[in-house]
């Protein structure tokens, strides 16, 4: 009697188990990569929104000390802006000059689950005195 060549049931089950383990690892890596791509996309959009807001400061209305908040994309990104006169570390409580004034601008953008992700930008703006502003 001749024995037929082929795979036994045990060999087939082991092969399926190895395939399942390999696919699990592969899918885990792909989902991690998808999360990183999404995070990068969200961070990029937040940065573009922030740069747009900073570029428009002082264009429609004069830039003044104070704070403001708002959102973009129906609340997906939330921002907070603070503008205050710049104080150098070595400067005392000097009287402000009548000429141009240096303002410190701080912008914070939050997004993600429970606003866990954030972007903070800060800089200085030189503003001219408001003479004859409409």
Token pair for residue 17? 């188990």
Q: What is the pLDDT along the chain (134 residues), one digit of tens a residue?
A: 667 777 788 889 999 999 999 999 888 888 888 888 888 999 999 999 999 999 999 888 888 899 999 999 998 999 999 999 998 776 665 555 677 889 999 999 999 877 678 999 999 998 887 665 55
């Amino acid at each position: 009697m001749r024995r037929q060549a082929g795979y036994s049931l045990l060999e087939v089950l082991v092969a399926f188990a190895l395939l399942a383990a390999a696919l699990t690892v592969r899918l885990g890596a792909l989902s991690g990569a998808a999360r990183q791509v999404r995070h990068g996309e969200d961070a990029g959009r937040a940065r573009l929104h922030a740069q747009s807001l900073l570029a428009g400061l002082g264009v429609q209305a004069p830039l003044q000390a104070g704070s403001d908040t708002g959102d973009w994309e129906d609340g997906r990104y939330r921002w907070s802006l603070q503008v205050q006169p710049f104080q150098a570390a070595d400067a005392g409580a000097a009287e402000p000059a009548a000429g141009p004034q240096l303002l410190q601008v701080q912008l914070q953008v939050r997004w993600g689950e429970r606003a866990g992700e954030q972007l903070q930008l800060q800089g200085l703006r030189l503003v001219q005195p408001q003479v004859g502003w409409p």
